[in-house]
Amino acid sequence: MKGLSKLLCGIDLGGTKINTGIANNKGEIISNIIIDTKAEEGQDAVIDRMIKSVYTVLERAGLKIEDLAGIGIGVPGLIDSWEGLVIEAANLPGWNNVPIVDIFSKEFDINIRLENDANAAAIGEYLFGSGKGIENFIYLTVSTGIGGGAIIDGKLYSGSNSNASEIGHSVIDFNGPKCNCGNYGCFETFASGTALARFAQNRMDAGEATLISELAGNGKVKAEHVFEAGEKGDKVALELIDKEAFYIGIGLVNILAFYNPERIAIGGGVSSQWDILKDRVNKVIEERALKPNAKVCGVVKATLGKNVGLLGAAGLVMEHK
Amino acid sequence: MKGLSKLLCGIDLGGTKINTGIANNKGEIISNIIIDTKAEEGQDAVIDRMIKSVYTVLERAGLKIEDLAGIGIGVPGLIDSWEGLVIEAANLPGWNNVPIVDIFSKEFDINIRLENDANAAAIGEYLFGSGKGIENFIYLTVSTGIGGGAIIDGKLYSGSNSNASEIGHSVIDFNGPKCNCGNYGCFETFASGTALARFAQNRMDAGEATLISELAGNGKVKAEHVFEAGEKGDKVALELIDKEAFYIGIGLVNILAFYNPERIAIGGGVSSQWDILKDRVNKVIEERALKPNAKVCGVVKATLGKNVGLLGAAGLVMEHK
């Protein structure tokens, strides 16, 4: 496996923060720095800041660029991993076919790799977290949106143009609500944190009494408010949580039918509520999934937490290809 | 690639017929025989007949068992390809964890492989038909049921226990009708030939005048009747065909989201109507699929026709693993 003796650099580029760090091949972070993205300053400024962050973490760890196997970059958007392009990214306005791998390659004479954040996270969890040693492994992130990544026969499967496992945009009800992507009834329109907050708002708008209103106060309802109200026994919140678990369950039923994986790990914001959701979700799988596919697969909570983006990006340059 | 210089034997085991044959590595059938399955006689008798059919095709072609790279078997049911078991098969009553690979291995001292029929068909189309040279390729069969098979990075992906790409049992409307599998709103409950006939029957039961009634006569309505009536301009039939294309389109949208393939080939009975469905299906993809995933992928008609099962089974022993 190439680069096993060298260290791994990962950059988790987000819409508000950039997390750059160096890890060893056990997934232990040796040095990292979190800086503001300042996306409004435009792509050149952001890329400049990313490059500087690499030098900063190297310096802090007393390392040279030669100590690295490469630099992996995870981006929350549409990318072309073969061409090394960021095609577009919702939280990075103005980014349009940015040849980020070329730009980095001019600065650093090492292996540079690019993936979308969910695919990178799948690699991270596979190499260092909840998917260790599991050759057919799916990572599903349920947050404001829903994304996924598939490890197939021990390798990231990114598809013909890096857009495989866009699980959030698979249809679970073709009569469902309109999705940001233009389609209707995508998994993400039912099961994302955004969808949960929307369903809660609908109940409040209908005049139902619920603790969620109090918790949200004058601000926007968030998924967290629903779970908090649910913990306190609020009836509306508990109904919404049941629905949320049902929708996640249906998405998992589809993952089982398509990928027949050995393990699925749930990450993203909603995963922090996994203890509440787990039994409800497993009941849906038991009732609805193909039996042999369900039997062979465990659904677990992802383990890398807030560093999944960094470790996933770093893991991109540990792969044996 | 192992066995390239040797010939391939394939057995397409169906509920009513068994098609056994020998092919070369170009997918040309040298010799084959189609016999009745006589499933009612039980598994031992059926397996005996399968074994005899291998000897028959060898004899007819003037070949010996040593001339074969192996024997591949395709079965329309739930199988375990690692253990070589037929777990169950709807059209083969009484088959329950049948160790068919072991039984064949005792008779023939060559490589024996087992797959479900849709996975085998995917290999067949990839090696010899509509998926030639396409490393990320999906085969979808739309017939009385719906099945699928995925070629990923040039290899059949069969999943953790040979049940990957059970695309017919992915949910496209969680409020939909009950499926044979126990779930609700599976792709197959909307888009299979059986579903199309059911929708037609519903329209007739509601008292609508349609040519479909005449074509069906006193018999059961079949998908073919709908297409035939549609060709003659029957309004109800044309509406049903539009719906059928819509449902197939939604299934393809999900295949694009999960697998991001370069090509999808449609096989099975409904594929004979592909000329009528094609434009309608592509319109659904254009309107609903993720743009980058749709852009990179062509949907075509499978090309191996009635021999896809035989050639797929034969192709199993041509794989380089």
pLDDT at site B319: 63
pLDDT at site A1: 43
Q: How far apart are CA B255 and CA B249, in angstroms?
A: 10
Give DSSP secondary structure letters for A61-93: TT--GGGEEEEEEEESSEEETTTTEEEE-TTST
Q: How far is CA A281 from CA A228, A252, A266, A284, B100, in A?
A: 19, 9, 11, 5, 36
Residue A288 has pLDDT above 80, yes or no: yes
CB contact under 8 Å between A159 and B260, yes or no, is yes
Q: What angle do CA A161, A167, A170 make, to 5 degrees?
A: 100
- Judge whether A255 and A167 are in contact, CB under 8 Å: yes
CB contact under 8 Å between A290 and B163, yes or no, is yes
Chain A to chain B Cβ contacts (< 8 Å): 145
pLDDT digits (tens, 9 = 90+) for B309-320: 999 999 999 965
pLDDT grade, residue A91 (50/70/90)?
confident
What is the arrangement of strands in the sheet containing B111-116, beginning at the earlier edge strand? B29-36, B17-23, B7-13, B68-75, B111-116
pLDDT digits (tens, 9 = 90+) for B138-172: 999 999 999 999 999 999 999 999 999 999 999 99
Mutate to test the interface with A, among B248, B288, B299 (most CBs of A within 10 A): B288
Facing B173 at nearest CB: one of A157, A165, A175: A175
CB contact under 8 Å between A258 and B288, yes or no, is no
Complex ipTM: 0.94
Nearest to B117 by CA among B91, B93, B135: B91
pLDDT mean across residues, chain A? 95
Q: Find, in chain B, the residue whose alpha carbon is nearest to that of A158.
A: B260
Mutate to test the interface with B, among A80, A88, A139, A163 (most CBs of B within 10 A): A163
Contacts of A259 in chain B (CB under 8 A): 159, 164, 258
Least confident of A43-52, A210-219, B1-10, B186-195: B1-10
pLDDT at site A3: 43
Mutate to test the interface with A, among B171, B180, B248 (most CBs of A within 10 A): B171
pLDDT digits (tens, 9 = 90+) for B17-46: 999 999 999 999 999 999 999 999 999 999
Q: How far apart are CA B170 and CA A201, in angstroms?
A: 30
Q: How far apart are CA A127 and CA B285, in angstroms?
A: 35
Tokens of A47: 């890329």
- Judge whether A279 and A215 are in contact, CB under 8 Å: no
Nearest to A143 by CA among A38, A222, A64: A222
**What is the value of pTM for the model shown?**
0.94
Q: How far apart are CA A199 and CA A178, in angstroms?
A: 14
Residue A2 has pLDDT above 60, yes or no: no
pLDDT grade, residue A277 (50/70/90)?
very high
Which residues in chain B come in under a pLDDT of 50? 1-4, 321
CB contact under 8 Å between B172 and A173, yes or no, is yes
Ramachandran angles phi, psi of A112, nearest 5°: -120, 130
End-to-end Cα distance, chain A = 8
* A55 Rama sector, left if φ>0, alpha if ψ -120 to 50, beta otherwise: alpha
pLDDT at site B132: 97
CB contact under 8 Å between A170 and B254, yes or no, is yes
Facing A161 at nearest CB: one of B153, B184, B296: B296
Contacts of B296 in chain A (CB under 8 A): 160-161
pLDDT digits (tens, 9 = 90+) for A223-267: 999 999 999 999 999 999 999 999 999 999 999 999 999 999 999
Q: How far is CA B13 from CA A272, B81, B117, B167, B321, in A?
A: 48, 15, 8, 21, 23
Facing B258 at nearest CB: one of A164, A246, A289: A164
pLDDT grade, residue A319 (50/70/90)?
low
Q: How far apart are CA B294 and CA B316, in angstroms?
A: 29
Strand B155-157 with A78-80, pairing = unpaired
pLDDT digits (tens, 9 = 90+) for A163-203: 999 999 999 999 999 998 999 999 999 999 999 999 999 99
Q: Give me the mean pLDDT over the A112-117 stretch.
A: 95
